[in-house]
């Protein structure tokens, strides 16, 4: 168990809908990362937050947004969902914003039908 908790584990929704994925980092970790994993794209970095502020942005679509709350949990919001958004979404956390290792949650498997 990495200490990173993601909910829900599975999500099935229809195209055009909006969903929210939730991540609770390890106790004491200030940095949260979101990744998307799909068969054709591999692991893609989406966005990183550090202590409530956005720190780095990757290949995140405009339909997607995220935030980190004062209690350090994070949410990833996906809207106007398309079939191609079906993927495994991982959250990871690390203690700081430097080059330390990240610990990953079990992921949320999103299926858009």
Partner 1 sequence: AQSVTQLDSHVSVSEGTPVLLRCNYSSSYSPSLFWYVQHPNKGLQLLLKYTSAATLVKGINGFEAEFKKSETSFHLTKPSAHMSDAAEYFCVVTYAGGTSYGKLTFGQGTILTVHP
Chain residues binding partner 1 by CB under 8 A are: 2, 31, 33, 35, 42-43, 45, 48, 50, 55-56, 58, 90, 92, 97-107
Q: Is residue 30 classed exposed, middle or buried when 0-12, 13-18 and 19+ CB atoms within 10 A define those classes?
A: middle
In order, the DSSP letters of 43-71 are EEEEEEEETTEEEEE-S--TTEEEEE-TT
DSSP state of 85: G
- Between 15 and 41, name the residue whose CB sits nearer to partner 1: 41
Q: Decide whether 71 or 101 has the Cβ nearer to partner 1.
A: 101
Cβ-based nearer residue to partner 1, 79 or 86: 86
CB of 83 to partner 1, least distance (A): 21
């Amino acid at each position: 168990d990495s200490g990173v908790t993601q909910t829900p584990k599975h999500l099935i929704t229809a195209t055009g809908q909006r969903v929210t994925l939730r991540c609770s980092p390890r106790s004491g970790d200030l940095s949260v990362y979101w990744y998307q994993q799909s068969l054709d794209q591999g692991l893609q970095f989406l966005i990183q937050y550090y202590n409530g502020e956005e720190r780095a942005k990757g290949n995140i679509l405009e339909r997607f947004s995220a935030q980190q709350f004062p209690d350090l949990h994070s949410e990833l919001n996906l809207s106007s969902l398309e079939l191609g958004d079906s993927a495994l979404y991982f959250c990871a956390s690390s203690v700081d914003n430097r080059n330390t290792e990240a610990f990953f949650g079990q992921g949320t498997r999103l299926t858009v039908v």
